[in-house]
């Protein structure tokens, strides 16, 4: 029992150390710095909102942004698993940036450890598991999405395939239920990955069922049906608020699907910060740097050529091809079919994110390749082979990270606001529609220090009411803008000075006082410099 507990903890520790190495100097700046992107604000807002909602009467999905819209947490991935796991850290008083970085780096290490478990089970080789885990955890895709926390929480996908294999091999109920549980956890961690996993896991289950199992047809079928029912019930319940939101916001525009699909060049492109392959970044685009590395490709080829063509190797090759083809979006066949027949896929935008599953299946094949090269060799030869492969992979995947400080405390103006009677807040400047998101992501995060309803907001979708409001308040503080704010029941306004030219700022403040539209509470420091807090009359 002690060994069974010790071994996975040791594997997780190894990948934790590798994660700190591959993301250095992030470990030195855990409490203060993150990658300079508005989604970091969004991540921290979601984590803190879930922690807040779990301990207050607030409705979980009725988050405080885009007031008076409802179910605003469902305008993007809610990150429910991440939020629940991070909540105790928030309640314990850890700094928001520290909580964010622990959840981010923990997801990368956990993904590597989960991949290790899958490939070790398939090959019986710890070295193969280590190589596959490195491919899955540290390829350029990971650093291209370093700002997207939900896209780092991918450990449930290899665990789902591991549970599937064990269910087929043993016929035990717990593994069938574990397959469905991992499927549901992936959906609750990342809807993108949840939908992709459901598709690819279903394909894998069908391909593996006829011959790659030890349990009888009836036993294997029953346990897998149980897992499917468990996943279906959980995902159905989780989907309900999203379905109501979808009725309001509709499908993703087709032009967005075209803009965020993979191309052939995407798989030849690494991130700009890659030490070895940074010059290939121009072949891709943001979120479409999918190069898996030469070492992983060579090991996968070895796995296909040297391993006796077992059903498992062939199935994982077919799954990799399916994920690759789907990543081309509407330019491919499989995603086009799903888009036409499954409404959930019409809410997706970036099919290039299927590149993670290409990596996962490639990692499995690379693990088979290493196992074939190491089989029957002396221990020293295996150690040198493993050390060489690991060194090459880590060198190929090493990437320079750009980090910048984020605030952990409420600026004085938000401290002052938090002591005012509760009311709806609007912050200016309000971004123009063609300039979104502007400062709204930061406004959302700063709202976690007072939790007042906020008419500003940042998410994957923008409600039509928000876009209409943005147009109407462009002329703030005109009569039309003030009518809109009153219609939104706004009681407080924060005017940030630093983003206005001095003459424009002076005109706005003079008009507000002259027309007696508001009462000035005072001018205080904000995150971006001085700002004035007003109370609507």
Residue pLDDT, tens place only, 483-518 = 999 999 999 999 999 889 999 999 999 888 887 778
- Nearest Cα neighbor of 358 from 299, 266, 290, 287 is 290
User: Can you give the pLDDT at residue 311?
Assistant: 83
Element (H, E) at 503: helix 502-514
User: Can you give the pLDDT at residue 411?
Assistant: 95
Dist CA 109 CA 10 (whole Å): 12
Dist CA 285 CA 265 (whole Å): 9
| Model confidence at 192: pLDDT above 70 | yes
| Model confidence at 1: pLDDT above 60 | no
In terms of Cβ atoms closer than 10 Å to its own Cβ (0-12, 13-18, 19+), residue 255 is exposed
User: Can you give the pLDDT at residue 3?
Assistant: 64
Dist CA 268 CA 308 (whole Å): 29
**Count of other CB atoms within 10 angstroms of residue 231:** 25
Higher per-residue confidence, 118 vs 460: 118
- DSSP strand E in 42-177: where? none
| Model confidence at 49: pLDDT above 60 | yes
Tokens (6 digits) for 174? 């717990």
User: Can you give the pLDDT at residue 514?
Assistant: 82
Residue pair 118/158 in contact by the 8 Å Cβ criterion:
yes
3-state secondary structure at position 20: helix
User: Can you give the pLDDT at residue 435?
Assistant: 86
Tokens (6 digits) for 150? 């939900």
User: Can you give the pLDDT at residue 160?
Assistant: 98
User: Can you give the pLDDT at residue 308?
Assistant: 63
- The pLDDT of 209-237, averaged and rounded, is 92
Which residues have a Cβ under 8 Å from the Cβ of 77 and sit 6 or more positions away? Answer: 150, 190, 191, 192, 460
Scan for tokens 């290409």, then name that residue: 358
- The pLDDT of 371-380, averaged and rounded, is 90
DSSP-assigned beta bridge partners for residue 427: 494
| Model confidence at 441: pLDDT above 90 | yes
* pLDDT tens digit sequence for 321-374: 999 999 999 998 999 999 999 989 988 989 999 999 999 999 999 999 999 999
Tokens (6 digits) for 29? 């700046």
Residue 434 pLDDT grade (very low, low, confident, very high; cuts 50, 70, 90)? confident
Q: Percentage of residues in the chain with pLDDT exceeding 70?
A: 99
Higher per-residue confidence, 1 vs 65: 65
3-state secondary structure at position 290: coil
- In which order are the strands placed within the sheet that holds 529-536? 424-428, 490-496, 529-536, 518-526
**Count of other CB atoms within 10 angstroms of residue 221:** 15
| Model confidence at 251: pLDDT above 70 | yes
Burial 257-286 (b: 16+ CB within 10 A, else e): beebbbbebbbebbbbbbeebeebbebbbe
Per-residue CA distances from 459 to 150, 210, 436 (Å): 13, 44, 11
User: Can you give the pLDDT at residue 320?
Assistant: 97
User: Can you give the pLDDT at residue 208?
Assistant: 92
* pLDDT tens digit sequence for 276-330: 999 998 887 888 999 999 999 999 999 888 776 678 899 999 999 999 999 999 9
User: Can you give the pLDDT at residue 283?
Assistant: 84
Angle at 175 between CA 170 and CA 179, to 5 degrees: 130
DSSP 335-348: HHHHHHH-GGGGG-
The rounded mean pLDDT for the chain is 93
DSSP 344-375: GGGG---GGGGHHHHHHHHHHHHHHHHHHHHT
Q: How far apart are the first and last CA of the chain?
A: 68
Name the pairing type of β-strands 490-496 and 424-428: parallel
């Amino acid at each position: 029992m002690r060994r069974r507990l010790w071994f996975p903890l040791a594997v997780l520790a190894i990948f934790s150390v590798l994660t700190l190495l591959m993301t250095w100097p992030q470990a030195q700046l855990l409490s203060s710095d993150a990658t300079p992107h508005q989604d970091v604000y969004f991540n921290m807002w979601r984590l803190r909102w879930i922690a807040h909602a779990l301990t207050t009467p607030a409705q979980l999905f009725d988050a405080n942004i885009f007031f008076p819209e409802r179910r605003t947490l469902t305008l993007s991935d809610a990150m429910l698993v991440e939020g629940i796991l991070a909540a105790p850290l928030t309640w314990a008083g850890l700094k928001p940036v520290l909580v964010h970085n622990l959840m981010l780096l923990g997801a990368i290490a956990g993904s590597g450890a989960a991949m290790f478990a899958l490939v070790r089970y398939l090959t019986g080789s710890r070295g193969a598991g280590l190589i596959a885990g490195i491919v899955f955890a540290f390829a350029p895709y990971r650093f291209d999405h370093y700002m997207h926390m939900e896209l780092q929480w991918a450990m449930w996908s290899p665990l789902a395939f591991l549970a599937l294999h064990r269910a087929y091999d043993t016929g035990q109920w717990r593994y069938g239920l574990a397959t469905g549980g991992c499927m549901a956890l992936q959906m609750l961690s990342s809807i993108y990955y949840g939908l992709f996993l459901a598709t690819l896991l279903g394909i894998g289950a069908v391909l593996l069922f006829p011959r790659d199992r030890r349990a009888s047809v009836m036993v294997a079928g029953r346990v897998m049906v149980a897992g499917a029912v468990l996943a279906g019930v959980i995902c159905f319940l989780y989907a309900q608020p999203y379905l109501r939101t979808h009725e309001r916001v509709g499908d993703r525009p087709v032009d967005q699907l075209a803009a965020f699909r993979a191309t052939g060049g995407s798989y030849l492109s690494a991130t700009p910060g890659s030490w070895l392959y940074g010059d290939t970044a121009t072949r891709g685009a943001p979120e479409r740097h999918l190069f898996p590395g030469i070492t992983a490709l060579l090991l996968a080829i070895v796995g296909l050529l040297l391993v006796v063509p077992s059903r498992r190797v062939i199935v994982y090759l077919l799954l990799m091809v399916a994920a690759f083809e789907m990543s081309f979006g509407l330019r491919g066949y499989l995603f086009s079919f799903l888009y036409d027949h499954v409404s959930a896929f019409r809410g997706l935008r970036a099919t290039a994110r299927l590149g993670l599953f290409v990596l996962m299946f490639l990692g499995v094949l690379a693990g088979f390749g290493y196992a074939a090269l190491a089989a029957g060799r002396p221990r020293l030869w295996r150690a040198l082979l493993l050390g060489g492969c690991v060194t090459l992979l880590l060198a190929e995947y090493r990437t320079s990270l750009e980090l910048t400080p984020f605030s952990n405390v409420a600026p004085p103006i938000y401290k002052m606001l938090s002591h005012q009677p509760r009311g709806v807040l609007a912050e200016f400047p309000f971004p123009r529609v063609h300039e979104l998101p502007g400062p709204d992501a930061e406004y959302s995060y700063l709202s976690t220090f007072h939790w007042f309803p906020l008419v500003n907001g940042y998410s994957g979708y923008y409600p039509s009411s928000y876009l209409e409001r943005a147009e109407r308040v462009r002329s703030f503080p005109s009569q039309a803008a003030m009518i809109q704010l009153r219609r939104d029941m706004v009681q407080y306004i924060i005017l940030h000075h630093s983003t206005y030219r001095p003459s424009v700022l002076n005109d706005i403040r003079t008009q507000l006082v002259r027309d007696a539209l508001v009462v000035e509470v005072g001018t205080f420091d904000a995150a971006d410099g001085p700002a004035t807090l007003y109370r609507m009359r």
